[in-house]
Amino acid sequence: MLSVPISWYLVLSAILFVIGTSGVLLRRNLIVMFMCVEIMLSAVNLSFIAFSRHYHDLTGHIFAFMVIAVAAAEAGIGLALIINVFRHRQNIDADQMNLIKG
């Protein structure tokens, strides 16, 4: 029997995911919201790798690798967008980005 069963790793992944979700909902700074999205992606990575070890299948590692690659590309583009928003509005408070409000 493994000394740490897989359900514990999945519970840790769930806790990190919920922390990331709450961060996106609670924080107003755009960059901190983006960091919480990265926390969510890391939590899912942990879940992939835990299952990969459980079933002795390297596919989980490859999935996690692709998630990291996508997160890197998304971080670059998202931060470029945030820089653009800051140039126009001079602040990155998500509560004040309400031009689309009817």
Partner 1 sequence: MAELIFFIVFAIGAIAGSLGVLLARNPINSAISLVVGFFFLAGIYVLLNASFMGMIQVLVYAGAIMVLFIFVLMLLNFRDDEIVDAKIGFHQLVAVLMGVAMLVLLVQTIFSTNFVGSSLVAESVPQGFGEVAGIGTALMTTFVLPFEMAAVLLLTGIVSAVVIAKKRV
Phi and psi angles of residue 29, each rounded to the nearest 5 degrees, phi first = -75, 125
In this structure, what token pair is assigned to residue 19? 């922390």
Site string for partner 1, 3-42 (x = CB under 8 A): xx-xxxxxxx-xxxxxxxxxx-xxxxx-xx-xxx-xx--x
Which ranges in 1-102 belong to alpha helices (H)?
A: 6-26, 30-55, 59-89
Min dist CB 102 to partner 1, Å, is 19
Nearest CA-CA partner of 45 in 61, 70, 64, 66? 64
Residues 53-72 that bind partner 1 (CB under 8 A): 53-56, 58-59, 61-62, 64-66, 68-72
Site string for partner 1, 70-99 (x = CB under 8 A): xxxxxxxx-xxxxxx-xx---xxx-x----
